[in-house]
């Protein structure tokens, strides 16, 4: 079976759905964000504040190269992975890329308790405006995914069911 690669904006359910799928399908779970933190030995918000987004994206690109060589994986890819075409190309080699998406208000609701600790891009005065801005910028990148699932109003199990249906027919 090909790797299952979940992409999409923060708060769309990538992590919980990826973990659910890995358990259901007997596959391994990996989070690119977790791998970045392991390699850098510092949290992602600290990377952003101390070294900047450009540095973070370079580390992310190297992690994606390594992860894309793995097999039998459910890959929880960071929200901005798709901005780099090389990342998408690498992930497509052994994987099916599925984009999870949700409306900006839903994303805000899901992320509002983590903006200071885990969501550096939303640590701003108007997080909803920032979400809308980032979604607009990333829209064309997210459209490159092989499949798309709207997660607003859906349970984790229902989203996982949809992913499984896609994988069985891919």
| pLDDT tens digits, one per residue of 29-82 | 999 999 999 999 999 889 988 999 999 999 999 999 999 999 999 999 988 899
Domains and CATH numbers, the chain: 3-169 (3.40.50.300)
What integer pLDDT is reported at residue 78 of this predicted model?
86
What percentage of the chain has pLDDT greater than the value 90? 78
The whole model's pTM is what?
0.91
pLDDT per residue over 108-120, tens digit each? 998 877 544 456 6
* Buried/exposed 131-146: b ≥16 CB within 10 Å, e otherwise: bbebbeebeebbeebb
pLDDT at 27 over 60: yes
What integer pLDDT is reported at residue 116 of this predicted model?
47
Mean pLDDT of the chain: 92
Q: Which residues contact 143 (CB under 8 A, 6 or more apart)?
A: 99
- What would the two tokens of residue 48 be? 């952003």
């Amino acid at each position: 079976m090909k790797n299952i690669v979940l992409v999409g904006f923060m708060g769309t359910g990538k992590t919980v759905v990826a973990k659910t799928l890995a358990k259901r399908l007997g596959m391994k779970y990996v989070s690119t964000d977790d791998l970045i933190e392991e390699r850098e030995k510092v949290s992602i918000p600290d990377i952003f504040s101390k070294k900047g987004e450009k540095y973070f994206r370079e580390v992310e690109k190297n992690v994606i190269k390594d992860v894309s060589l793995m097999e039998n994986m459910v890959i929880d890819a960071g929200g901005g992975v798709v901005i780099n075409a090389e990342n998408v190309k690498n992930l497509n080699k052994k994987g099916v890329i599925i984009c999870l998406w949700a409306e900006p208000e839903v994303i805000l609701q899901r992320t509002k308790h983590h903006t200071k600790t885990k969501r550096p891009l939303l640590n701003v005065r108007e997080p909803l405006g920032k979400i809308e801005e980032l979604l607009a910028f990333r829209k064309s990148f997210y459209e490159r995914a092989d499949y798309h699932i709207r997660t607003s109003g859906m349970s984790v199990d229902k989203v996982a069911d949809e992913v499984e249906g896609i994988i069985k027919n891919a």
